[in-house]
Structure 1
Amino acid sequence: MTKIRYRNTTVDGIKIAYREAGPKGAQKLLLLHGFPTSGYMFRDLIPLLADRYHIIAPDLPGFGQSGDPAVNSFDSIAETIDRFTEIVGFDRYAIYLFDYGAPTGFRLAVKHPERITGIISQNGNAYVDGLSEAWNPVQAYWQDASAENRAVLKAFLGPETTIWQYTHGVADPTAVSPDGYSLDNFYLSRPGAEDVQLDLMGDYKSNVALYPTFQNYFRTHKPRFLAVWGKNDPFFLPPGAEAFARDIPDAVIKFFDTGHFALETHADEIAATIRGFLD
């Protein structure tokens, strides 16, 4: 049985909850989740990797058991997670990036390229190529941050939408545990959570603005790179994964017949791919 420890620390006044597993002298692996979930999304992946890697999976500020960010922005979240890695002793590490975790982790890589030993992106974009039409309401809010456009985005926070994110593109929806999306919906219903999430949707335009910076990092530093992608993702399409090879010719790109939350159905396959990649 894999022992997972559930810990908390404080980063500049913000509580950060995190999961930790694996031998401390082993290669370090930082897992960064996305919207609207938490470190809980790695519950199946961690036991498959913890025999070989020292794993830490924080709940991002504003998510899960962590406190809210000082400012509802991706810059603020990345700054907090950067300090968090220093507090927990992650001086050199590989990173697994999913959804919101991608622009967070790419900011860390740009700031500290010497610390990054490898990047695994699971449905986490750094190119406009893979942004689907599902982003249209969010992009409308980027262009005009009106109350009306903000109200439209509340549909992304509804319980039915969370379930749809988990099950869309999955061949057998009964293979998706209801625990994940039920917990996410609980966290989304907490007081203040709505404003945090709507603010972050509005600020996502800062990530797109940084895509050229991320791409320059890829071209300059050529990090070891693995893309493991749910090919039926309604938000981040396969061209977003394929685009990494433009700037990192040795990038390894793998597609799986599933949706956005690929670990819900393909944790075994993704873990095996990660082990081969990191080793």
Structure 2
Amino acid sequence: MMRHEHGSEVTGGGLARATRRHLLAGGVLATGVGSAGAAGAEGRPAPVGAVRHGTVRADGVNVFYREAGRPDAPAFLLLHGFANSSFYFRHLMPKLADRFRLIAPDLPSFGFTDVPEDRSYVYDFASLSRTIEAFVDALGLDRYILYTFDYGAPVGWDLALAHPDRVAGIVSQNGNAYLDGLGEAAWAPLRAYWAAPNEAAVGAIRARMTLDGVKAAYFQGVADPSRIEPEAYTLDAAILARPGNADRQVALKLDYKRNLERYPLVQAYFRARRPKLLAIWGRNDLFFIPAGAEAFRRDIPEARVTFLDTGHFALETDGDAIAEEIRRLF
């Protein structure tokens, strides 16, 4: 089980229960986001499909999140990737809000999650997972379906390993768990660094953090680039450009080797638990290639594997198809 450092304000059952009661009453435990919440200005409940916004203190971090759906519906925990945020799920959440309670947090250093300076946060994947586990505890989520995408995959796998009984199912959208799924060219700079740390490899990693680098990743493998909303990559690039954030992202990139080393643990979890799993993949993704989606069937033979004619950020172009597949399986 993961330890909660600086997290006493959220790991106690009392606050988790209080948070649940508050949510069930139609509100959101919100700090630092003004009056945003589940109820309107006159106290009327928001429509089921409306996306609400809030912030929860978890693990000493102010975790921003989006939420949609009824508080009593099955929970769906949506975990985003690099370099985006919960904004990635902005269109999917209303499509599924009649059936699920959808919750999408921003990982630390992404989106609108705020890490206080005095927290002395270590930006590695173990820390991201501890924070999101504390966030889940703060909201009192004891059972949920996981949506894992990109960076959200190793965080989701950590949650599943720590609390396997909480996972009611998994949607992996270009969320890798197998060495087979790593595209050779896309991972070459990181592999070069892991083999022999050098500034050239770090420079190649930093190049992905410019506006042009982020935009290129959104367009790669997409048949019709006009489908990509410019707000998405512009927001990602603006957040990456915040003071010190590029250094944090380099640290996370260099730490990714830790996730590969944990793949055997994740695969053993799949074999032991056989969770209901949908692997839905942008087949033109250069980072996490189709072989990674097919590999799930080695450990979960009944897993559903579906490919879409798009790239890494499949929700940006194929959200309707992804929502339909989720409804079909769950």
Say whether the fold is shared (TM-score over 0.5). Answer: yes
| Higher percent of residues as strand | 1
| Structure 2 residues without counterparts, runs of 5 or longer | 1-46
Rg (Cα) greater in structure: 2
Match of 1:255 in 2: 307
Please give the alpha-carbon distance, in whole angstroms, between the structure 2 residues aligned to 1:113 and 1:203: 24
Match of 1:62 in 2: 109
Please give the alpha-carbon distance, in whole angstroms, between the structure 1 residues aligned to 2:109 and 2:196: 24
Please give the alpha-carbon distance, in whole angstroms, between the structure 2 residues aligned to 1:143 and 1:83: 34
Please give the alpha-carbon distance, in whole angstroms, between the structure 2 residues aligned to 1:211 and 1:67: 29
CA drift of 1:40 comes to 0.1
Q: TM-score normalised to the size of structure 2?
A: 0.83
Match of 2:123 in 1: 72
* Counterpart amino acid of residue 305 in structure 2: I
- State which drifts further: 28-37 or 160-169: 160-169
CA drift of 1:151 comes to 2.5
- Per-residue CA shift, 1:102-149, capped at 9, x if unaligned? 000011001111000000000011001010121100111222333343
Residue 51 in structure 1 maps to residue 103 in structure 2: no
Residue 125 in structure 1 maps to residue 172 in structure 2: no
Please give the alpha-carbon distance, in whole angstroms, between the structure 1 residues aligned to 2:196 and 2:219: 31
Alignment of 1:1-279 (within 5 A): 2-68=49-115, 70-132=121-183, 133-278=185-330
Please give the alpha-carbon distance, in whole angstroms, between the structure 1 residues aligned to 2:75 and 2:305: 22
Q: Secondary structure at the match of 2:76?
A: strand
Is the contact made by 2:68 and 2:97 (CA closer than 8 Å) also made in structure 1? Answer: yes
- Per-residue CA shift, 1:225-256, capped at 9, x if unaligned? 11010000011100000000000001000000
Is the contact made by 2:202 and 2:250 (CA closer than 8 Å) also made in structure 1? Answer: yes
CA drift of 1:85 comes to 0.4
Aligned length, in residue pairs: 278
| Structure 1 residues without counterparts, runs of 5 or longer | none
% identical equivalent positions: 49
- Per-residue CA shift, 1:182-222, capped at 9, x if unaligned? 10011011001101100000000000000111001011111
